[in-house]
Amino acid sequence: MKQLLDETEIRNRVSLLAEQIAHEYRGKPLTVIGILTGSMILISDLIRRIDLPLRLGLIQASSYRGKTVTPSKLIVNESLVPDIAGRDVLLVDDIFDTGFTLSEIGKKVTARNPNSLKTLVLLWKEGRSRVPFQPDFFGFRIPDSFVVGYGLDYNDEYRHLPYIAVLDEKEM
């Protein structure tokens, strides 16, 4: 594996994102919703750095299963989303690839009548977007490579890595 972003770079950028979020939502009823499973580490680090009272919710979405490296049918479980009617919502995901997952989940969250909805991703993969939608906040733009670490996986492995790495084809 070739390391793309080290632990310090990620930590510093997440801190800056948390400052932006705290500024954006000061005095507003914020609910942060993480998209499982890839955003778990990002959500944990991010919410500890946002200097605001907030609620936390989770939504499970999967379009990559097992050893696949291309997305398939999106499966969504909304059972862990709290009541967000009238609240400002920040939807957090690990990576913006084609944009399909974040766009579709955004529609489901909007149907729950939040006051506002914005999105945040750690990674924005260049040249892959297939939807007329962009995240409101992002950590890093990255090349079109299959990446793992800091919550991102391949076949449910590598999530634990404290950095982001490009997975070599012979490791797939």
Catalytic residues: 97
Given a contact cutoff of 8 angstroms between Cβ atoms, the answer to whether 35 and 101 are in contact is: yes
DSSP state string for 12-28? HHHHHHHHHHHHHHTTS
User: What SS3 state is found at 164?
Assistant: strand
Integer CA distances (angstroms), 41 to 24, 44, 108, 128, in order = 22, 5, 23, 24
Give me the torsion for CA of 82, 28, 134, 73, rounded to 10°.
0
Burial class (CB in 10 A: 0-12, 13-18, 19+), 142: buried
